Amino acid sequence: MGPRVSADEHREDPADSAGAIEVLPPEMIDQIAAGEVVERPASVVKELVENALDAGATHITVDVEEGGKRLIRVLDNGRGMSAKEAELSLRRHATSKLRSIDDLFSLSTMGFRGEALPSIAAVSNLAMITRRRDATAATRLAVQAGAIAERREVGAPVGTQIEVADLLHNVPARQKFLKGEATEASHITEAVSRLAMAHPEVHFRLRHGSRTSIDAPRAKDGLERAKKLLGARAGADLHAVEGYEQGVRVRAYLASPARAQTTARGVQLFVGRRWVRDRSLLHAVVMGYGELVPKGRYPVAVVFVDAPGERVDVNVHPQKLEVRFSDQRAVCAAVRHAVSRAVSRAPWVEGALDVGAGSLRMEPAGGGARASEMAARYAEARASALGPADRPAQGERRGLSEVAFPVAPRGEQVGPSPAEGGAPNRGVIGAGGRGGAERGRVARAPGFTPASDPVPERDHRPAENWARVTGDVASDESDTGDVPAASIDARAGEASISATGPMPASSAGFAFSDLTYLGQLERTYLVCEAAGELVLLDQHAAHERVVFERLRERYQDRKIPAQALLFPRELDLEAGERASLAEHADTLAGLGFDMDLTDEAASLRAYPADLREHELEKALSELAGDLADRGGSRAVEERSDRAIATIACHGSVRAGDQLTDGEVDALLAALDETPRRTHCPHGRPVLLRISVAEIARRFGRT
Amino acid sequence: MDIRIQKSEFLRGLRLAQNIADRKSTMPMLANVLLRASGKNELLVAATDLNISLSAELGSQNESEGGLTLGAKALYDIVASMPDDEVHLARRENNWAEIRAGKVRYRLAGMPDRDFPQVPTTDDVSFSQVSAKTLREMIDKTLFSVCSDETRFHLNGVFFESDGKTACMVSTDGHRLSKIERSLEAPALSAGIIIPKKGVAEIKRSLDGGGDACELAVQTPAQHQTPHFYLRTGTITLAVKLIESEFPPYDQVIPKENKRRATIDRGIFLDALKRAQLMSSETRGVKLALEDEKVEVAGDNPDVGEVHEELPAACEGGKLAIGFNPKYVVDLLSHMDAEQVHVELGDELDPCLIRPAEDPSYLGVVMPMRI
Ligand SMILES: Nc1ncnc2c1ncn2[C@@H]1O[C@H](COP(=O)(O)OP(=O)(O)OP(=O)(O)O)[C@@H](O)[C@H]1O
Ligand SMILES: [Mg+2]
């Protein structure tokens, strides 16, 4: 049967066709329909692989040439088709998967429209070889320009192989919209990777020419598959969570917030086994991570949502890339809660904290690019500041402290006045009289041992260098670029490196209160010593996290302490800010504010005791923004969290604040009791750990 | 300029001057003291940070008149370290000073005296003699509750009122307030003045050195002069520029008729609060619970632990549980010297008044913390 009839008799002279209504030739109808399904080579791959999955295949191999523009070949070991079925499969709206419209809501297959194969065939040269298990021979069909050009019996294994060549060759207008080979190839990798993510029981292979891009053997569960596909780094700290709420089941594999990226690409959402894009679900995941992921960044997370069939409409997008829920809110809430519950337990936090003494990796604990940048800057600063100084003799504390805290002279600092007659300030932590005090503190620090104390021999291991660390972290960024193919390959390579590499030495709990505090650097960082490593804390980030968690707990109990004022205080706020605050009077009251807001003025009678009084105005004007209901897209709890983070920020010690030993001790003790303590509420890291082994290496001692 | 002066006499002026001289200013001259010899026996030592100025008239033997300015700190250290009782100071060319005592000879670079800022004069103000001891006590009992948030400058000082017989000092940081009244024959003022915190501290320092007599004077804004508070102890005059702003209507927030009153032993109360402070923080507060015969003090801090203590007390007006930033109450109690204090309370969000049982003219008000 030749499904296509020549359309010539429908054509009229273009001269008198202007404005006339005419019936499109079937060939064009097919090409237009194909446009909906076949957007680019990756969409063909997706349709063909879905068909293979629907046919019950356990091995699927995809080969592409020239980014799929030249050739796409999908081979499966599924149930195959008889000769008759094979022909039918090329007919529009021919499907074995849907019998009644109600079936749409109880689908167990990826396909249901009977549209994919004919659409693809309309815009390519398609060849199919397929054999059912009960058949002795396979059928080969070749379609050219929409019509079956060849039909014969051939010998072939059970299953189906479909080759799609010269995609869009007969629709030049659309062909020209295809991107370069690398881009199309990367889209294909992404498409296969998404399908593989949702089908861990199937062995997937993808080859670009002779290069294997994905080889994912049957995995025992989704976590194993996710680890495989995300690569060694992001995969290593994936944490599996499950949740069930109002009939919605959520299964997710969450990476540490430290993996956060600048694009949403790292968030993979699946409804059933279908990859979807869905802004509200994405938002729910990001919200679940809360403030651990800084504004404008996205976590790496794989999330599967299962809702009863009748609550999901899968037939809303030609490529089935979107779905519609009858109860969007419930689904989002379930996702948000599952993610946030898991995140608050911060499973990867202990991991980050447990990077043991002398471990190979100097892990700037989190913060992605920022942390790496910080690490790099820090390393540079150290390298140039330390110079060739040899290790000080043991016990030479004063000398050590001077070496340990060199500070570049700051332009605006006034040198010691000659009248003071003192020895020139050696730049010990800032200028002025502080040097002496800090020195005293170092000498006083109990249990202080100079860094030259012998490090236990077992801790000496070949250390990675800073460049490696920073390069490493920086390459996170490339994940967000447009070439996932390359990065998956790179990850695969790395998997073997870190699999053979030594694991962190210590897994005993890391306690902040066990740190020996050495002193303050630039009144911003707390320099501490732990067994075999130097630990730097960002004092503001650390305190902010402590205050935030404490406030959040008290907010839930409506127990935020509020300090009343003797005289009501007039605040200088803009009309818009006053309006936004007035609208959220309840939340504000819960946060500890007692204020009168009118059209003209804002006057304050009580405020949260944690807030620094001189930052009241600033905090309130930020709160007005935090609480503003931007089109209702933000959940109430997210807004209150933001508000609490703002209060915490304005209630914490700042960079530049001098801390007493007592304050530092209290802070360290409080950190141990605080969840999510490795990052501040805005997602910046709290601590940076540098092993003595690394320091030794930098001194050329290993 | 060429003078001889007793070391102790010289130090009497330099000690105060070097405190006031401002080394952090962008005007290098402010780090200096002015020395100006006039007549046969007079040496003026002056220092200023433009807000607080000191001028000391010291006795000296002058070979020749003239003036010079020198680094305040350096000069003080040099003179204090001199071995002999008599110090000889002479100006040399290019504003160098030569300072000698016995066989010691220093040369110190100075700056010309004509560039030194004008120090406020006291020619047209009239001084009244007051008790230094009383003035000191008033300062002691109010200085601690001055607001240190520099953006709220109207609270950055002690409010001073006087009707010629009784003087009153008040300070507040917006959360607590302290107020003291004493009979003091200071000049009568038509309106109160705000003396900045740092100035009050310098006044206190000047009072520490002198005897029990001092004189004070006020140049009020009404007289079209920069308003100043002046304190004279002997031949040393301190001029403090006033804060020109409106002090809040403090009288309105002092509760007049609180329905509850607890009378507690001050020492026991103070110790209990200090213990509770160990289990609390400024952002958490301590709880006071008034019963009939006792007051319970409680603090808890999830990071540390909790504490409960019962104090014997005579309570009237009914039970109440109320929270406070413990620091505010501790500060107040430590500045009272009575054995017993009255704690007068309204409801849990009303201001609380604390006053010594025996001294009706000193009081503190603390705003509660809702916890
Ligand atoms: N690899 C395969 N193995 C076995 N049968 C297949 C395979 N590919 C296609 N078929 C058969 O061909 C039919 C048509 O496939 P096609 O992809 O066009 O439609 P569909 O999968 O039913 O729906 P959709 O358009 O939603 O993908 C399928 O219903 C299935 O019966
Ligand atoms: Mg299909």
Tell me the pLDDT tens digit for each residue of A123-150.
999 999 999 999 989 999 999 867 888 9
Which stretch of A46-60, A410-424, A538-552 has the lowest confidence by average pLDDT? A410-424
Interface of B with A in 124-183 (CB under 8 A): 149, 151-152, 172, 174-177
Residue A457 lies in a domain: yes
**Per-residue pLDDT, A379:** 39
**Per-residue pLDDT, A525:** 93
Residue A544, chain B, CB below 8 Å: the answer is no
Count other Cβ atoms within 10 Å, centred on residue B251. Answer: 9
In angstroms, the separation between the Cα of residue B278 and the nearest Cα of chain A is: 11
The token pair at A363 is 């892990």
| Substitution candidate for ligand 1 out of A51, A72, A160 with most atoms within 8 A of CB | A51
CA distance B229 to B196: 10
CATH class of residue range B2-115: alpha beta
SS (H, E, C) chain B: CEEEEEHHHHHHHHHHHHHHCCCCCCCHHHHEEEEEEECCCEEEEEEECCCEEEEEEEECEEEECEEEEEEHHHHHHHHHHCCCCEEEEEEEHHHEEEEEECCEEEEEEEECHHHCCCCCCCCCCCCEEEEHHHHHHHHHHHHCCCCCCCCCHHHCEEEEEECCCEEEEEEECCCEEEEEEEECCCCCCCCCEEEEHHHHHHHHHHHHHCCCEEEEEEECHHHCCCCEEEEEECCEEEEEECECCCCCCHHHHCCCCCCEEEEEEHHHHHHHHHHHHHCCCCCCCEEEEECCCEEEEEEEECCCEEEEEEEEEEEECCCEEEEECHHHHHHHHHCCCCCEEEEEECCCCCCEEEEECCCCCEEEEECCEEC
Within this chain, do residues A595 and A485 fall inside the same structural domain, yes or no? no
Residue whose C-alpha is closest to residue A242's, from A211, A213, A221: A221
In this predicted structure, the answer to whether residue A365 has a pLDDT above a threshold of 60 is no
CA of A378 to the centre of ligand 1 (A): 58
The domain B128-250 is placed in CATH, from the list 3.40.640.10, 3.10.150.10, 3.30.540.10, 3.40.190.10, at: 3.10.150.10
Residue A253 lies in a domain: yes
Mean per-residue pLDDT, B228-242: 94
Residue A661 lies in a domain: no
The last residue of one of the domains, among A166, A197, A216, is A216
A234 or B261, which is more confident: B261
Ligand 1 pocket residue status of A345, Cβ below 6 Å:
no
* Partner-chain contact A610 B283, CB within 8 Å: yes
In this predicted structure, the answer to whether residue A164 has a pLDDT above a threshold of 90 is yes
Atom 19, ligand 1: which residue's CA is nearest? A114
**Per-residue pLDDT, A617:** 87
Ligand 1 pocket residue status of A47, Cβ below 6 Å:
yes
Residue A663 lies in a domain: no
CA distance A577 to A621: 6
Ligand 1 pocket residue status of A42, Cβ below 6 Å:
no
CA distance B50 to B27: 10
Write out pLDDT tens, residues A487-514. 233 333 222 222 222 223 333 467 888 8
| Substitution candidate for ligand 1 out of A61, A95, A107 with most atoms within 8 A of CB | A95
Write out pLDDT tens, residues A611-638. 888 888 888 988 888 887 654 545 677 7
Ligand 1 pocket residue status of A189, Cβ below 6 Å:
no
How is chain B split into domains, by residue range? 2-115, 128-250, 254-366
The last residue of one of the domains, among A183, A201, A216, is A216
Buried b (16+ CB within 10 A) or exposed e, A311-335: bbebbeebebebbebeeeebbbbbb
The last residue of one of the domains, among A289, A311, A345, is A345
Residue A549 lies in a domain: no
Q: Who contacts B328 (Cβ-Cβ below 8 Å, separation ≥6)?
A: B175, B176, B366
In this predicted structure, the answer to whether residue B75 has a pLDDT above a threshold of 50 is yes
In this predicted structure, the answer to whether residue A419 has a pLDDT above a threshold of 70 is no
**Per-residue pLDDT, B61:** 96
CA of A86 to the centre of ligand 1 (A): 9
Mean per-residue pLDDT, B202-221: 87
Within this chain, do residues A31 and A95 fall inside the same structural domain, yes or no? yes
In this predicted structure, the answer to whether residue A291 has a pLDDT above a threshold of 80 is no
In this predicted structure, the answer to whether residue A81 has a pLDDT above a threshold of 90 is yes
CA distance A354 to A618: 38
Mean per-residue pLDDT, A323-345: 86
Residue A669, chain B, CB below 8 Å: the answer is yes
Q: Which residues pair with A75 in a beta bridge?
A: A61, A161
CA distance A501 to A360: 9
Residue A500, chain B, CB below 8 Å: the answer is no
Q: Strand A59-65 relative to strand A203-208: parallel, antiparallel, unpaired?
A: parallel
Write out pLDDT tens, residues A19-60. 567 676 777 777 766 667 788 999 999 999 999 999 999 999
Q: Which residues pair with A242 in a beta bridge?
A: A251
Highest mean pLDDT of the ranges A242-251, A590-599, A645-654, B330-339: B330-339
- The band of A479, judged by pLDDT with boundaries at 50, 70 and 90, is very low
CATH code, A139: 3.30.565.10
**What is the total residue count of chain A?**
702
> In chain A, how many domains are there?
4
CATH code, A569: 3.30.1370.100
In this predicted structure, the answer to whether residue A346 has a pLDDT above a threshold of 70 is no
The token pair at A594 is 């007692």
Mean per-residue pLDDT, B176-194: 95
Q: Answer whether B139's CB lies under 8 Å from B240's CB.
A: no
Within this chain, do residues A207 and A261 fall inside the same structural domain, yes or no? no
Which stretch of A298-302, A464-468, B191-195, B198-202 has the lowest confidence by average pLDDT? A464-468
Residue A236 lies in a domain: yes
CA of A181 to the centre of ligand 2 (A): 25
Q: Answer whether A269's CB lies under 8 Å from A285's CB.
A: yes
B364 or A294, which is more confident: B364
CA of A97 to the centre of ligand 2 (A): 9
In this predicted structure, the answer to whether residue B226 has a pLDDT above a threshold of 50 is yes
Within this chain, do residues A451 and A576 fall inside the same structural domain, yes or no? no
CA distance A54 to A49: 8
Domain B254-366 bears CATH identifier 3.30.70.980: no
DSSP H or E segment with residue A169: none
Q: Which residues pair with A215 in a beta bridge?
A: A205
From the alpha carbon of A159, which atom of ligand 1 is closest?
3
* Nearest CB to B370; choose among A564, A610, A614: A564
Task: Give the chain B residue nearest A413 (alpha carbons).
Answer: B24
Ligand 1 pocket residue status of A82, Cβ below 6 Å:
no
CB–CB contacts below 8 A, A to B: 74
- For A112, the domain range is 23-216
Kindly state the percentage of chain B with pLDDT values over 70.
97
Q: Strand A602-608 relative to strand A594-597: parallel, antiparallel, unpaired?
A: antiparallel
Residue A548 lies in a domain: no
Residue A30, chain B, CB below 8 Å: the answer is no
Mean per-residue pLDDT, A457-465: 33
- Minimum-distance ligand to the CA of A160? 1
The token pair at B34 is 């002015």
From the alpha carbon of A160, which atom of ligand 1 is closest?
1
Within this chain, do residues A311 and A379 fall inside the same structural domain, yes or no? no
CA distance B360 to B341: 11
CA distance A693 to A381: 19
Highest mean pLDDT of the ranges B97-111, B223-237, B287-301: B97-111
Mean per-residue pLDDT, B145-155: 89
In angstroms, the separation between the Cα of residue B288 and the nearest Cα of chain A is: 15
Mean per-residue pLDDT, A223-231: 90
- The band of B223, judged by pLDDT with boundaries at 50, 70 and 90, is low
Buried b (16+ CB within 10 A) or exposed e, A559-584: ebbbbbbbbebebebeeebbebbbeb
The backbone torsions φ and ψ at residue B64, rounded to the nearest 5 degrees and listed phi first, read -145, 150
Mean per-residue pLDDT, A572-576: 84
C-alpha torsion sign, points B218, B219, B220, B221: negative
Q: Who contacts B87 (Cβ-Cβ below 8 Å, separation ≥6)?
A: B4, B5, B6, B7, B10, B79, B99, B100, B101
Largest interatomic CA distance in chain A: 106
CA of B25 to the centre of ligand 2 (A): 80
Residue whose C-alpha is closest to residue A370's, from A257, A474, A274, A300: A474
CA distance A91 to A519: 77
* Nearest CB to B325; choose among A550, A563, A666: A563
CA of A299 to the centre of ligand 1 (A): 35
**What is the total residue count of chain B?**
371
The token pair at B306 is 């909790």
| Mean pLDDT, all residues of chain A | 73
Within this chain, do residues A644 and A590 fall inside the same structural domain, yes or no? yes
Q: Answer whether B366's CB lies under 8 Å from B349's CB.
A: no
CA distance A191 to B113: 84
Q: Answer whether A168's CB lies under 8 Å from A38's CB.
A: yes
Cα A680 → chain centroid: 17
Residue A420, chain B, CB below 8 Å: the answer is yes
Residue A138 lies in a domain: yes
ipTM, 2 decimals?
0.85
- The band of A575, judged by pLDDT with boundaries at 50, 70 and 90, is confident
- Mutation for A interface: B76, B303, B329, most A CBs within 10 A: B303
- The band of A312, judged by pLDDT with boundaries at 50, 70 and 90, is confident
| Mean pLDDT, all residues of chain B | 92
From the alpha carbon of A74, which atom of ligand 1 is closest?
1
Interface of A with B in 501-530 (CB under 8 A): none
CA distance B68 to B48: 15
Residue B78, chain A, CB below 8 Å: the answer is no
CA of A37 to the centre of ligand 1 (A): 13
Residue A550, chain B, CB below 8 Å: the answer is yes
In this predicted structure, the answer to whether residue A407 has a pLDDT above a threshold of 60 is no
Within this chain, do residues A144 and A211 fall inside the same structural domain, yes or no? yes
* Nearest CB to A566; choose among B285, B351, B370: B351
In this predicted structure, the answer to whether residue B236 has a pLDDT above a threshold of 80 is yes
Within this chain, do residues A211 and A270 fall inside the same structural domain, yes or no? no
pTM: 0.57
Q: Who contacts A377 (Cβ-Cβ below 8 Å, separation ≥6)?
A: none
The token pair at B17 is 């001057």
Residue whose C-alpha is closest to residue B162's, from B203, B216, B120: B216
In this predicted structure, the answer to whether residue B135 has a pLDDT above a threshold of 70 is yes
Within this chain, do residues A618 and A689 fall inside the same structural domain, yes or no? no
In B, which residues are within 8 Å of A422 by CB distance? none
Q: Decide whether B2-115 matches B128-250 in CATH topology.
A: yes
Mean per-residue pLDDT, B158-176: 96
CA distance A183 to A181: 5
**Per-residue pLDDT, B66:** 95
In this predicted structure, the answer to whether residue B96 has a pLDDT above a threshold of 50 is yes
In this predicted structure, the answer to whether residue B60 has a pLDDT above a threshold of 80 is yes
Residue A650, chain B, CB below 8 Å: the answer is no
* Partner-chain contact B282 A421, CB within 8 Å: no
**Per-residue pLDDT, A349:** 53
* Partner-chain contact B349 A564, CB within 8 Å: yes
Residue A666, chain B, CB below 8 Å: the answer is yes
- The band of A468, judged by pLDDT with boundaries at 50, 70 and 90, is very low
CA of A51 to the centre of ligand 1 (A): 5
CA distance A387 to A612: 41
Residue whose C-alpha is closest to residue B282's, from A667, A513, A611: A611
Write out pLDDT tens, residues A231-266. 877 777 788 888 888 888 999 999 888 788 878 888
